[in-house]
Amino acid sequence: MKHGKWPLIVTFLVPPVLLYVFFVVSPYLQAFQISTTDWLGYSADANPVGLANFKTLWHDDYVWNALKNNAILLGLVPVLTIVLGLFFATMLAMGGRKGSAGVTGVRGSALYRTVYFFPQVLSVVIIALLWKEVYHPNQGLLTSAAHAVGLPAPTWLGDPATAFWCVLAVMVWSNVGFYVVLFGAAMSAVPKEIYEAVLLDGASRFTTLRRVTLPLLWDTVQVAWVYLAIFALDGFILVQLMTNGGPNFSTDVIGVRMYDTAFGSETKFGYASAIGVVMFFLTLSVAVLSLRVGRRERIEYS
């Protein structure tokens, strides 16, 4: 066995590592290099300009505006998604309190589970188009519903006061289903006896969630947090398709700014790379931070 180890490792590990270096690491490094040039993207000429792009970026109000929006997303999307995800998963796994069956989900939990997962099946593009119609200011579902009960409806995506929150709601909606399933799977790994004991002690559902489920699921929640934080720092596809950053830059995010600078209204690839580099470090710091802050003792069942 021993003598066969190295060929095996080499055969199975070297090709993926090479592919990874070639297709993932090297573009990253190139982006770093391009960000220090004034490359305009359609010729091979690029002059090194040092950190000038980053200096411009520091004074670019549009970039700051986009970052501000990302910060709000970062503050709200993970919290809302995880809270909703945990709530739904708990209800599906142990929300039922009827009869003597012990720990069961609410009635019809199989159906709910499927319904919550629907958005995950749809491609993001479809979700964006779907919600664009829901937010249609004249014929959309929301406007019609508001009018039906005699309420005035805003123009949703057409008003800077509401557009951002409309997009945020779609982000949460489209993510919750996945985390319901993720948390649900984690919960099923928790020994049932624990819950039965909790039930015998007469704990309410909320207390169960806060004192028992959450601590036991902490690792999973933490992973969810990192994923959602990365998602919140991006948010590109939904925003680009639903509002393209408008109206009046009220829904702009850093990813849209980067795309627009390179492929949209300008061809400043050097500057766009600088935005990308900033985004890279922001995402990395957020990921590292949320892992550090959330570090806890791991609980082993046995």
Partner 1 sequence: MNRRDILRRSVAAGLLATPAAGLLSGCATGGGGDKNDAETYQGTKSAQNPLGVKEDAPLEVVIFGGGFGEEYAKAHEAMYTEKYPKAKIKHSSTQEISKTLQPRFVDGTPPDVVNNSGSGQIDFNGLVSQNALAGLDDLLAAPSLDIPGKTVKDTLLPGAVEVGSYDGKFLVLNYTYTAYGIWHSAKLFADRGWSYAKTWDEHIALCKQIKAAGIAPWTYAGLHPRYMSWPLISTAIKLGGPSVATAIDNLEPNAWKSDSMRTAADAWHQIVKDKYILEGSPGLDHKQSQTAWCQGKAAFISCGSWLESEQKDVTPAGFNMTIGPTPSLGSGDKLPFEAIRGTAGEPFMVPAKARNVAGGLEYFRTMLSKKGAQDFTKKVASLTVVAGATEGVELPYGLSTVVKALDASGANGFNWVYNNFYRKLERNLVDAACGEFFSGRIGPAEFLEQCQKGADSIAQDSSIKKYKRAA
Contacts of 213 (CB under 8 A, 6+ apart): 86, 90, 187, 190
According to CB under 8 A, which one of 87, 124, 129, 136 is a site residue for partner 1?
136
Structure tokens at 128: 């964006």
Count CB-CB contacts under 10 A for residue 116. Answer: 21
| 115-134 positions binding partner 1, by CB under 8 A | 132
256 contributes a contact to partner 1 by CB under 8 A: no
- The closest of 292, 139, 283, 299 to 216, measured between CA atoms, is 299
Q: Shortest approach of partner 1 to residue 66 CB, angstroms?
A: 12
Q: Shortest approach of partner 1 to residue 131 CB, angstroms?
A: 12
| 268-297 positions binding partner 1, by CB under 8 A | 268, 271, 284, 287-288, 291
Q: What is the spatial distance between Cα 145 and Cα 13, in angstroms, rounded to a whole number?
A: 56
Q: How many CA atoms lie within 13 A of 30 on its CB side?
A: 10
Measuring CA to CA, how many Å separate 134 from each of 128, 129, 154, 173, 175? Answer: 10, 9, 13, 13, 18
Q: Shortest approach of partner 1 to residue 156 CB, angstroms?
A: 5
| 46-75 positions binding partner 1, by CB under 8 A | 46
* Part of the chain binding partner 1 (CB under 8 A), chosen from 74-82, 91-99, 113-121, 154-162: 154-162
Contacts of 125 (CB under 8 A, 6+ apart): 237, 241
According to CB under 8 A, which one of 10, 15, 19, 26 is a site residue for partner 1?
26
DSSP 190: S
Count CB-CB contacts under 10 A for residue 107. Answer: 11
DSSP 104: B
According to CB under 8 A, which one of 190, 226, 232, 282 is a site residue for partner 1?
226
240 contributes a contact to partner 1 by CB under 8 A: no
207 contributes a contact to partner 1 by CB under 8 A: no
| C-beta of 37 vs 213, nearer to partner 1 | 37
Q: Shortest approach of partner 1 to residue 154 CB, angstroms?
A: 8
Measuring CA to CA, how many Å separate 35 from each of 16, 30, 253, 258, 266? Answer: 28, 8, 19, 12, 16
According to CB under 8 A, which one of 88, 116, 131, 135 is a site residue for partner 1?
135
Q: How far is CA 72 from the centre of its chain?
A: 13
Contacts of 116 (CB under 8 A, 6+ apart): 88, 176, 177, 180, 181
* Part of the chain binding partner 1 (CB under 8 A), chosen from 25-33, 75-83, 84-92, 207-215: 25-33
| C-beta of 32 vs 165, nearer to partner 1 | 32
Q: Shortest approach of partner 1 to residue 41 CB, angstroms?
A: 6
| C-beta of 33 vs 104, nearer to partner 1 | 33
114 contributes a contact to partner 1 by CB under 8 A: no
Size of the site for partner 1 (CB under 8 A): 50
| C-beta of 153 vs 199, nearer to partner 1 | 153
251 contributes a contact to partner 1 by CB under 8 A: no
Structure tokens at 299: 């609980």
Q: What is the spatial distance between Cα 136 and Cα 129, in angstroms, rounded to a whole number?
A: 11
Can you give the binding site for partner 1, defined by CB under 8 A? 25-26, 28-30, 32-34, 37-46, 132, 135-138, 143, 155-160, 223, 226, 243-244, 246-249, 260, 263-268, 271, 284, 287-288, 291
